[in-house]
Structure 1
Amino acid sequence: MEKAEHWSNDEEIKIFQEYLRIPTVHPDIDYTACVEFLKRQADKLNLPVDVIHPVLPSKPVVIMKWLGKRPELPSILLNSHMDVVPVFAENWTHDPFGASMDAEGRIYARGTQDMKSVGCQYLAATRALKSSGYQPKRTVYLTYVPDEETGGDMGMAEFVKGDYFRAMNVGFALDEGIASEDESYPVFYAERTLWHLRLKFTGTSGHGSLLHKNTAGEKFQYVMDKLMKFRKTQVQHLAENSSLDIGDVTTLNLTQLTGGLQSNVVPPVLEAVFDIRIAISQDVDRLEKQIRNWGEEAGGGLELDFILRCPFVETKVDDSNPYWLAFKKGLDELGLKTHTRVFTGATDSFYVRQMGIPALGFSPINNTPVLLHNHDEYLRADTYLHGIQVYRKLIPAVADS
């Protein structure tokens, strides 16, 4: 209890809790209070701040600028998103926007892991570094973007295309990672290729009392069986190789199924939507060709409609990337055990990498259950405070490289 009382009086913990209590929760987020909070933080840090709206007035991007000694050099981007996913309050044992701390120092709130902690740790590390008299060689930008949790279309996706971002001359970016349940820290250098794929099956229609040939349902069943057998191979890969995690295999899930108007009418069209995250070891073109071949085997009439089809982009984590070398050196000097991974989902780092800018996903959270998007999301106060010290090391490491 004494520790919890001590942490509750820590100024950085209080700032973190204040940020968590702002309900920037989907759907229909009002970012006003969040923007005002960040403006106050920038003012306390004596950093200039801009708020721009690349898409809509209701979708702000907040940018703080920490001028470097050599501003002509490519800058460092510290990015985080302001939004959080919905909550089902009845399944929480704490108010999801109360940011209360229990006797063990666990702070409960939506966004503790994903990813208001990182956004606040950037601020805290900047505060500590500035207080010590430090000024980075490269200019450092702290950006807070909207709507990452709905795909980034209203935030980072458009922000990186604009004149403001271009003028920032970003050379390297940091963004979110995922908590680790052991002592190590994953560092993410890429994301799997993301498809949101709609399969449209067309076939013979007619009365439900007859046995029509080449129906959409038959074709769907055939292709679905092939896809599920492929999915099973990925499950087996994970089960048979303990060195792999979910980001190393291809995931495939049926997410929507539509078709038919009446219970006694065989529909001419059935549509199935799949969320597919393709491992970097998987030949993307070959997979697409295989799905089309299965459609032909089923009798034809299969159309592939890509709702979303992201290209594969990665950041090199080898000697060819000086930012990686500087970042890794900082981690090593801290004595942190790390491993490079492919991100399981999708983050705003994708849009940055797509612009040709190296980006790494990293959240300084270890020995913690992975609770992003889950009920009772929490982060321990000591883990949060340790993360500030991690960034105190990593920010100069990359900014002075």
Structure 2
Amino acid sequence: MTSNWENDEAVQRFREYLRIPSVHPDVDYDECVKFLKKQANLLELPVVVHEFVPKKPVVVITWEGLQPELPSILLNSHMDVVPVNEEKWTYPPFDATISDDGYIYARGTQDMKSIGMMHLEAVRRLKNAGVRLKRTIHITFVPDEEIGGVDGMCAFSESPEFKQLNIGFALDESAPNPKPDEILAFHGEKTSRQIIVTCRGEPGHGSRMVSGTAGEKLHYIIDKFMTLRAQEKKKVDSGDWFGDVTAINLTQISGGVQVNVLPETLTVSFDIRIAPDVDHEEFENMILRWCEEAGEGVSFEYIVKNPQVRSTKIDGSVPFWEVMKKVVADMGYSIRCVNCPGATDLRYVRRQGIPAISFSPLMDSAMLLHAHDEKIHVDVFRKGIDIIEKVVEAIANV
């Protein structure tokens, strides 16, 4: 049981941040920006706020290193959180209540205001201890990650202001791990593709048994996609990490005018998350082949076609990753580095050719991202600051 949290200033700052309801839809980021400016002033560090899209602020707090010409370190987090159903929560989701057994209940405790505050608190400790680092540290807070990050990290990463930061390595969020001594990290992500397949056939009376109907073609397409889905699901059921498996889900079917009329057009939509090791060109050619096999008048188009982003190498060629592993091991923990099953803002950073690792030191914690009663234990938060402090010091001195 934790009993001294009342006097822990880091915990109280974290709770203050959690109480800002930066929740979708229609997020107002003004209070987050005010809070972060206050933290920068307390740290005596310069802070800049960019708006590449109106009302979508990007906050950059900078701690200059002894050798500012070296590529810098980016510590990124997002300010926004997903919606809540307050009736399902034990405590109000924006009160940051601490239970008797030491858990902080609030939306954002895991995803990911805790990590943003760990970044700030780690830098605070290093500065207060009189430590100077070789590389410059940029602590960034971005908007809209929970709705795709297009107006947040995507716009930021493509800007001249981002390039001027001269980033050499980046950290962002991963996910909690129920194991007490293992941190879950991500070095790559699946590629999101959403498609709609259109099947055309001759319309006619519903009593006719003719060939080449839109329904027959739709059946062929659905069978191909769902067979592939079953093969991929079998891998997960056999124990493969689901970040390494292509996810396919049928999400919409539409078409037809009346139940006794053969439809001229039927469409089916699929949400696809392509595993990092899959050849994207081959995957697209496979879909084109299926459409051709289904019959004349079958085609597909992309609703979303994200580009493939190469994973950060963890083969010893990225020195920042190597020192991270050593520091964590020296503290008595390990890192399990895998591909992210979902998506984070780091895909935009990696797209710029920058090595990046998703890293949330939330051990001994159930995964409650986006769940009711999202929570983190006070001791987990404190331990996370300890780990981030050591990691930041190490990677900034590479």
TM-score, length-scaled by structure 1: 0.94
Q: Kindly indicate whether residue 142 of structure 2 is the aligned counterpart of residue 145 of structure 1.
A: yes
In 2: Cα distance, 1:267 partner to 1:111 partner: 47
Q: In the alignment, which residue of structure 1 is the partner of 2:93?
A: 96
Q: In the alignment, which residue of structure 2 is the partner of 1:121?
A: 118
Contact kept? 1:204, 1:212, Cα under 8 Å? no
Alignment of 1:63-78 (within 5 A): 63-78=60-75
Q: In the alignment, which residue of structure 2 is the partner of 1:247?
A: 243
After superposition, the C-alpha distances for 1:118-162 in whole angstroms (9 at most, x for unaligned) are: 001111111111110012111100000001111111111111111
In 1: Cα distance, 2:317 partner to 2:27 partner: 41
Q: In the alignment, which residue of structure 1 is the partner of 2:165?
A: 168
Q: In the alignment, which residue of structure 2 is the partner of 1:25?
A: 23
Q: Kindly indicate whether residue 337 of structure 2 is the aligned counterpart of residue 345 of structure 1.
A: no
Q: In the alignment, which residue of structure 1 is the partner of 2:310?
A: 313
Q: In the alignment, which residue of structure 2 is the partner of 1:7?
A: 5
Q: Kindly indicate whether residue 322 of structure 2 is the aligned counterpart of residue 297 of structure 1.
A: no
In 1: Cα distance, 2:24 partner to 2:250 partner: 23
In 2: Cα distance, 1:206 partner to 1:135 partner: 78
Q: In the alignment, which residue of structure 2 is the partner of 1:374?
A: 371
Q: Compared with structure 1, are the counterparts of its residues 308 and 215 closer, same or farther at alpha carbon in structure 2 (3 Å cutoff)?
A: same
Amino acid at match of 2:186: F
After superposition, the C-alpha distances for 1:356-382 in whole angstroms (9 at most, x for unaligned) are: 100000100112111111111111111
Amino acid at match of 1:319: G
Q: In the alignment, which residue of structure 2 is the partner of 1:110?
A: 107
In 2: Cα distance, 1:366 partner to 1:215 partner: 55
Q: Compared with structure 1, are the counterparts of its residues 34 and 266 closer, same or farther at alpha carbon in structure 2 (3 Å cutoff)?
A: farther
**Displacement after TM superposition at 1:195 (Å):** 1.1
Q: Kindly indicate whether residue 335 of structure 2 is the aligned counterpart of residue 326 of structure 1.
A: no
After superposition, the C-alpha distances for 1:253-283 in whole angstroms (9 at most, x for unaligned) are: 1233333455554443333322211223333
Q: Choose from 269, 278, 282 the match for 2:274.
A: 278
Q: In the alignment, which residue of structure 2 is the partner of 1:386?
A: 383
The alignment partner of 1:199 has SS state of strand
In 2: Cα distance, 1:43 partner to 1:121 partner: 17
Amino acid at match of 1:174: L
Q: Compared with structure 1, are the counterparts of its residues 208 and 8 closer, same or farther at alpha carbon in structure 2 (3 Å cutoff)?
A: farther
After superposition, the C-alpha distances for 1:301-358 in whole angstroms (9 at most, x for unaligned) are: 2222122222131111122111112222222222212121001111111110010100
Q: Compared with structure 1, are the counterparts of its residues 127 and 305 closer, same or farther at alpha carbon in structure 2 (3 Å cutoff)?
A: same
In 1: Cα distance, 2:87 partner to 2:261 partner: 41
The alignment partner of 2:277 has SS state of coil
Amino acid at match of 1:385: R
The alignment partner of 1:30 has SS state of coil
In 2: Cα distance, 1:41 partner to 1:192 partner: 35
Gaps of 5+ in 2: none
The alignment partner of 1:60 has SS state of strand
Q: Kindly indicate whether residue 198 of structure 2 is the aligned counterpart of residue 200 of structure 1.
A: yes
Contact kept? 1:39, 1:49, Cα under 8 Å? yes
Amino acid at match of 1:290: M
**Displacement after TM superposition at 1:291 (Å):** 2.1
In 1: Cα distance, 2:164 partner to 2:273 partner: 33
Amino acid at match of 2:12: K
In 2: Cα distance, 1:85 partner to 1:257 partner: 28
Amino acid at match of 1:102: S
Contact kept? 1:292, 1:302, Cα under 8 Å? no
Gaps of 5+ in 1: none
Contact kept? 2:291, 2:300, Cα under 8 Å? no
The alignment partner of 2:269 has SS state of strand
The alignment partner of 2:150 has SS state of coil
Q: Kindly indicate whether residue 143 of structure 2 is the aligned counterpart of residue 154 of structure 1.
A: no
Contact kept? 1:260, 1:266, Cα under 8 Å? yes
The alignment partner of 1:83 has SS state of coil
In 1: Cα distance, 2:186 partner to 2:64 partner: 27
TM-score, length-scaled by structure 2: 0.95
Q: In the alignment, which residue of structure 1 is the partner of 2:219?
A: 221
Contact kept? 1:107, 1:380, Cα under 8 Å? yes
**Displacement after TM superposition at 1:222 (Å):** 1.7
In 2: Cα distance, 1:334 partner to 1:327 partner: 11
Contact kept? 1:204, 1:213, Cα under 8 Å? no
Contact kept? 2:68, 2:135, Cα under 8 Å? yes
**Displacement after TM superposition at 1:211 (Å):** 4.4
Identity of aligned residues (%): 46
Q: Compared with structure 1, are the counterparts of its residues 204 and 104 closer, same or farther at alpha carbon in structure 2 (3 Å cutoff)?
A: farther
In 1: Cα distance, 2:380 partner to 2:231 partner: 37
In 1: Cα distance, 2:101 partner to 2:196 partner: 47
The alignment covers a number of residue pairs equal to 396
**Displacement after TM superposition at 1:201 (Å):** 2.2
**Displacement after TM superposition at 1:17 (Å):** 1.1
- Aligned-pair RMSD on alpha carbons? 1.7
